Chains A and B, each alone.
Chain A
């Protein structure tokens, strides 16, 4: 052991700063967050060193978890919210990927003004998300918004987009799809360009139709890129907060796990850190389980990842 340390002390010394930084920035807050879930901490009983006020919160065991997991509406109707989060996540990522792939395929050939299209399509990504969110909020205004004016002009029904119904969820999904497509498009375009052209030539010589070339050359060639961007997309979308919060506010019809955690932590008047942390831990657990399953699935398909 001692000789081991003596031989490798340099390596440990080099790694130490990273370990310390990660411990301070990641592990300590994480441990603290987990600790809070077993207390009744809120803004009234938190310690305040500046104001000389000691902490007065107490341990409550698993009460927070029981309250949240009971699915009680006062604690965010956890199971309903989880289902909505899954609809939101997979709905968004599905359209991100399919639309992104479609656009990437279109841009991966020699068309006139290709650079111009690329710039145009990347635009939603370049605009700060909160500006897009406010713009969409105005467009979805049931009375004065351009979308409903358009629908009315066509004689179609004009739903209350951001009201107390599932239209609101659809509306925020539309916005998030619009925001998220460029990233998928750029990533997949990169993947497409790394597929060697001679594979297509060989397939063509063998008499493969365009569809067969797409299924048997393009998709397998994209697999490593796709699996990464889909995983990233799912994690980002699962925790996508600004779009929902800025467009729909604390509307229970668009509530996902992370917006509810924010509501409890920050918004309005009640700052219940314990419940918010409980949600944080549950979100982390869901994502961990998901990432593990996803990795297993990929490994069984022979991906080294």
Chain B
């Protein structure tokens, strides 16, 4: 009889928990949805903003958001949402007619959200007027089927970040090609000198640098298993084999280990974006911020380095009760002044051309170092499936780096997964 009692107790505990959670969720949902009626004309005047930036950046966005709200006369509530959960949470909430009014969406998510009808079409609003000031590639991420769905918030790309002192001590200059990086590593103390993150996004510099791509959206072709890409992954694996780089072969720990290795000074070089800089500057190796060097990512040959464009866009949820306020909010958040403030305080790259001429922005070392990198960044296919391309590639890339599979075989599997589950209407090859 004992175990059954135990079982019941466990069930009861779980049931209570579920009830408590359900009540909690219900309360939150009521709180979010409160105020205003659903007709398009009215506006609740309360904007809930889901900020997906990390703990280093979020306070600054919050501050600017509150300044905007005070200036333009509406209320704003900034809620921070973990980046890796954000898309999922947003989709679930928006599908149920709940969620934020304004969402900070990664550039690759916008076409997908647009296709699923979860973000509002902004083509006829003020936000779609006068977009000539925005950089073209980030602006491209807000378009889907000829309509406008968002406003670029920040742009970014990957660059080679290096420890100036370590490189100077070893007498090497920042490598321009992967071969140079190999040679430099030998002088910098071998495999510890370059930390290679084994996440799919970080495979893109190798792939773009070798002239490859994942899909050709124009020709509707899957090109992920091209000869260029095979060579690209072999280059990455070659760095590990030549003891010129190290990686965390357990993918779940890879990013955290990279951050730890570089900010402690263990690793002399990493490839990462401007969002990581604030994190590094807290580390022991960069108590003097000027020790952080930023250079374009190496390529197969000098000057051929190429990194993906990244960044974030503001979107408005389809079904929001505060569309007018949200539009005003985004206008204010993405104004040249706000962007300059973000650039100055966080070193994130503005999406407006005019913001780059601001004196404070010019004086920011991180922004000025990343500016040429971001402006020449490799565009990504702005298709609804753009965000789904990484899941299969991530596993393949980790397998290749771990030596479990050959690059060609692994990429053939990715191509098959793309064809079967991501972009069935595309042809392989």
Contact = CB atoms under 8 A, between A and B. Distances in A.
Contacts of B260: 144
A137 B3 contact: no
Contact of A190 (B3, B252, B413): B3
B402 A163 contact: yes
B399 A186 contact: no
Contacts of A212: none
Interface of A: 43-44, 46, 48, 50-51, 53, 72-75, 137, 140-144, 160-165, 168, 183, 186-187, 190-191, 193-194, 225, 228-229, 232, 247-252, 266-272
Interface in B383-425: 384-385, 387-388, 390-391, 394-395, 398-399, 402, 404, 413, 416-417, 419-422
Given A51-B97, A72-B420, A270-B421, A193 B2 contact: yes
Nearest to A160: B249
Interface in B1-40: 1-7, 10
Contacts of B388: 268-270
B97 A50 contact: yes
Contacts of B5: 190
Interface residues of B, number: 50
A105 B257 CA distance: 43
A39 to B, nearest CB: 16
Given A73-B417, A190-B6, A141 B253 contact: yes
B142 to A, nearest CB: 18
B125 interface: no
Contacts of A225: 2-3
Contacts of B10: 183
B249 A164 contact: yes
B295 interface: no
B117 interface: yes
A161 B250 CA distance: 7
B117 A51 contact: yes
Contact of A73 (B1, B96, B249, B416): B416
B3 A228 contact: yes
B70 interface: no
Contact of B6 (A141, A187, A266): A187
B96 A142 contact: no
Contacts of A229: 3
Contact of B250 (A162, A250, A252): A162
Contacts of A46: 95
Contact of A163 (B95, B116, B249): B249
B253 A137 contact: yes
Contact of B399 (A164, A168, A232): A164
Contact of B88 (A187, A248, A267): A267
Interface in B302-343: 318-319
B187 interface: no
Interface in B86-128: 87-88, 91, 95-97, 109, 112, 115-118
Contacts of B117: 48, 51, 53
B248 interface: yes
A137 to B, nearest CB: 6
A269 B398 contact: no
9 contacts: A43-B91, A142-B253, A164-B398, A187-B6, A191-B2, A249-B252, A252-B395, A270-B388, A271-B91
Given A141-B250, A266-B88, 12 more contacts: A43-B95, A51-B319, A53-B117, A74-B419, A75-B421, A142-B248, A142-B249, A162-B250, A163-B249, A191-B2, A249-B252, A269-B387
B390 A268 contact: yes
Contacts of A250: 391, 394-395
Contacts of A144: 253, 257, 260
A229 B3 CA distance: 7
Given A269-B112, A272-B421, A248 B252 contact: yes
Nearest to A45: B116
Contacts of B417: 73-74
B381 interface: no
A194 B5 CA distance: 14
Nearest to B91: A43
A187 B257 CA distance: 41
A271 to B, nearest CB: 7
A50 B96 contact: yes
Contacts of B318: 51
B45 interface: no
Contacts of B399: 164
Contacts of A160: 249-250, 402
B95 A143 contact: no
Contacts of B250: 140-142, 160-163, 168
Nearest to B88: A266
A192 B425 CA distance: 62
A248 B387 CA distance: 21
Contacts of A143: 248, 253, 257
Contacts of A228: 3-4, 7
B54 interface: no
B251 interface: yes
A193 B398 CA distance: 51
B248 A190 contact: no
A44 B115 contact: yes
Contacts of B96: 50
Contacts of B91: 43, 271
Contacts of A193: 2
A251 B319 CA distance: 36
Contacts of B249: 142, 160, 163-164
Contacts of A267: 88, 391
A193 to B, nearest CB: 7
B116 A43 contact: yes
A55 to B, nearest CB: 12
Contacts of A247: 252
Contact of A194 (B1, B112, B257): B1
B420 A75 contact: yes
B319 A73 contact: no
